[in-house]
């Protein structure tokens, strides 16, 4: 075989899990979450310039595999992501992902990266961005129900972007709560471990639910939710997989990412087709109201949308420049004569 080196056109920067961890520590986790939240906010403000489609989901008994594409006309991105709530029992993660950013001009990829860590970061950054616009002013305390892989990211983003200083943890599995409490030690947050969801909610202005269960669960019942709180519900993100009692939705004002996707996947799948919602991007762009008053219950019915991943890929591409945190992979075949793909293969004998 001829040892021909791939040309620059063949090479695409790849960010491994190891390099993503280096990049996050290089930037600092809270600055990373804050800057990422700013990138997402920029893209929500120009929401109308993106191609949008509900993600393509392939469902199976125990989980789902999804493809999440979007484009702003200059760049194109997609993420491959799964959701398998029983995975942790066998040592696999509930959510794992990777994704790609491409140049629309010639269709070539310009970044390939792990997105398991990046999804946890972007989900937390999106939650915090929503809370900054919807949560009660001067919110200091958040209940964090579900203390799995996403939990600490949610806590730190709410600290960095919203300014909370106290997090109240609850999980059906006390080992998960102990893990989260340990990981949040020394991070500038007061951490209280609670034995019930009710105890976690006490004194909290923000309630985050990030549990994983493939059923219509009722992590929050109507009587648990007092007036004036902001609910950040991220675990209801698939048909037949919700976290809130529907009566909560009747009392709350509901904010969503992309209605055609959220009506299939979010908490509002429990409501009628025309259940009123506000698109979050309109609040960010100043076209619609955020929180009106102290008594309003606001609900961010988060399912995760492709534009957030696009922003995350854009942010990582910008942050990578001048760092050693990527390696080049020859992903694109690049024959000297673009039409002589077969000749390139023959010459490699
Ligand atoms: N909206 C989004 O953008 C987005 C992004 C990523 C993940 N998610 C979803 O967030 C959820 C959490 O993801 P993860 O990676 O942290 O999962 P995980 O499996 O690591 O953690 C889930 C935790 O929830 C706990 N739990 C299950 N049922 C509970 C209950 N009734 N009360 C309290 N705790 C309970 C489990 O014990 C576990 O510790 C998943 O449902 C996932 O699909 C949403």
| CB of 308 sitting under 6 A from ligand 1 | no
Same domain as 71, residue 153: no
- Catalogue the active-site residues: 237
Answer yes or no: are the C-beta atoms of 70 and 50 closer than 8 Å.
yes
Q: Is residue 3 part of a domain?
A: no
Number of C-beta neighbours around residue 213 at 10 A:
16
pLDDT tens for each residue of the chain, 349 residues long: 455 678 888 899 999 999 999 999 999 999 999 999 999 999 999 999 999 999 999 999 999 999 999 999 999 999 999 999 999 999 999 999 999 999 999 999 999 999 999 999 999 999 999 999 999 999 999 999 999 999 999 999 999 999 999 999 999 999 999 999 999 999 999 999 999 999 999 999 999 999 999 899 999 999 999 999 999 999 999 999 999 999 999 999 999 999 999 999 999 999 999 999 999 999 999 999 899 999 999 999 999 999 999 999 999 999 999 999 999 999 999 999 999 999 999 999 9
| CB of 145 sitting under 6 A from ligand 1 | yes
| CB of 127 sitting under 6 A from ligand 1 | no
Number of domains in the chain: 2
Strand segments, DSSP code E, in 115-204 are: 141-145, 166-170, 190-193
Same domain as 335, residue 221: no
Same domain as 93, residue 44: yes
Going from the Cα of 325 to the center of ligand 1, the distance in angstroms, rounded, reads 29
> At 56, which CATH number?
3.30.1780.10
Q: Is residue 122 part of a domain?
A: no
Q: Which numbered atom of ligand 1 lies nearest the CA of 147? A: 39
Q: Is residue 272 part of a domain?
A: yes
Going from the Cα of 146 to the center of ligand 1, the distance in angstroms, rounded, reads 6
Answer yes or no: are the C-beta atoms of 255 and 229 closer than 8 Å.
no
| CB of 68 sitting under 6 A from ligand 1 | no
| CB of 287 sitting under 6 A from ligand 1 | no
Q: Which numbered atom of ligand 1 lies nearest the CA of 211? A: 24
Answer yes or no: are the C-beta atoms of 95 and 82 closer than 8 Å.
yes
- The DSSP bridge partners found for residue 297 are 252
Same domain as 296, residue 247: yes
Where does residue 18 rank: exposed (0-12), middle (13-18), buried (19+ CB within 10 A)?
exposed
Same domain as 211, residue 286: yes
Same domain as 109, residue 54: yes
Going from the Cα of 92 to the center of ligand 1, the distance in angstroms, rounded, reads 13
Q: Is residue 140 part of a domain?
A: yes
Same domain as 172, residue 30: no
What pLDDT score does 289 carry?
Answer: 85
User: Considering Cα of 23, then 26, then 30, then 33, what sign does the dihedral take?
Assistant: negative
What pLDDT score does 4 carry?
Answer: 67
Same domain as 278, residue 149: yes
Same domain as 247, residue 171: yes
Ligand 1, atom 28, residue with closest C-alpha: 211
What pLDDT score does 5 carry?
Answer: 77
User: Helix/strand/coil (H, E, C) string of 261-328?
Assistant: HHHHHCHHHHCCCCCCCEEHHHHHCCCCCCCCCCCCEEEEECCCCHHHHHHHHHHHHHHHCCCCCCEE
DSSP codes joined into one string, 68-104: EEEE-SSEEEEEEEEE-TTGGGGT--S--EEEEEEET
Ligand 1, atom 18, residue with closest C-alpha: 148
Ligand 1, atom 33, residue with closest C-alpha: 171
Going from the Cα of 208 to the center of ligand 1, the distance in angstroms, rounded, reads 11
What pLDDT score does 7 carry?
Answer: 86
Q: Is residue 255 part of a domain?
A: yes
| CB of 211 sitting under 6 A from ligand 1 | yes
Same domain as 330, residue 243: no
Answer yes or no: are the C-beta atoms of 254 and 283 closer than 8 Å.
no
Q: In which domain, by residue range, is 63 found?
A: 8-117+307-347
| CB of 123 sitting under 6 A from ligand 1 | yes
Q: Is residue 269 part of a domain?
A: yes
Going from the Cα of 331 to the center of ligand 1, the distance in angstroms, rounded, reads 34
What pLDDT score does 3 carry?
Answer: 52
Going from the Cα of 317 to the center of ligand 1, the distance in angstroms, rounded, reads 28
> At 231, which CATH number?
3.40.50.720
Same domain as 215, residue 145: yes
pTM: 0.97
Q: Is residue 123 part of a domain?
A: no
| CB of 250 sitting under 6 A from ligand 1 | no
Same domain as 135, residue 274: yes
What pLDDT score does 277 carry?
Answer: 98
């Amino acid at each position: 075989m001829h040892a021909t080196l791939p040309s620059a056109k063949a090479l695409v920067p790849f960010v491994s899990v190891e390099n993503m961890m280096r990049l996050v520590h290089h930037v600092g986790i809270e600055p990373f979450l804050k800057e990422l939240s700013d990138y997402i906010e920029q893209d929500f403000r120009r929401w109308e310039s993106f191609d949008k489609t509900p993600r393509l989901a392939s469902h199976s008994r125990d989980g789902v595999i999804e493809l999440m594409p979007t484009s702003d006309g200059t760049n194109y991105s997609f993420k491959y992501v799964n959701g398998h709530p029983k995975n942790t029992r066998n040592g696999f993660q509930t959510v794992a992902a990777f994704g790609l950013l491409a140049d629309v001009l010639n269709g070539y990829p310009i970044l390939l990266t792990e997105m398991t860590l990046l999804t946890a970061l972007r989900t937390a950054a999106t939650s915090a961005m929503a809370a900054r616009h919807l949560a009660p002013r001067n919110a200091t305390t958040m209940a964090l129900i579900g203390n799995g892989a996403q939990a600490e990211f949610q806590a730190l983003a709410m600290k960095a972007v919203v300014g909370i200083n106290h997090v109240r943890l609850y999980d059906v599995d006390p080992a998960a709560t102990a893990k989260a409490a340990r990981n949040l030690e020394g991070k500038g947050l007061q951490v209280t471990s609670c034995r019930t969801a009710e105890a976690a909610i006490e004194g909290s202005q923000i309630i985050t639910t990030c549990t994983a269960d493939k059923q219509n669960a009722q992590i929050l019942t109507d009587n648990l939710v007092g007036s004036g709180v902001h609910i950040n519900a991220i675990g209801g993100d698939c048909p037949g997989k919700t976290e809130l009692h529907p009566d909560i939705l009747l009392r709350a004002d509901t904010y969503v990412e992309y209605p055609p996707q959220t009506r299939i996947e979010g908490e509002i799948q429990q409501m009628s087709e025309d259940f009123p919602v506000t698109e979050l991007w309109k609040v960010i762009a100043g076209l619609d109201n955020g929180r009106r008053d102290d008594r309003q219950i606001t609900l961010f019915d988060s399912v995760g949308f492709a534009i957030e991943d696009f922003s995350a890929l854009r942010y990582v591409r910008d942050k990578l420049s001048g760092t050693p945190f990527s390696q080049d992979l020859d992903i694109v075949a690049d024959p000297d004569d673009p039409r002589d793909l077969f000749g390139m293969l023959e010459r490699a004998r």
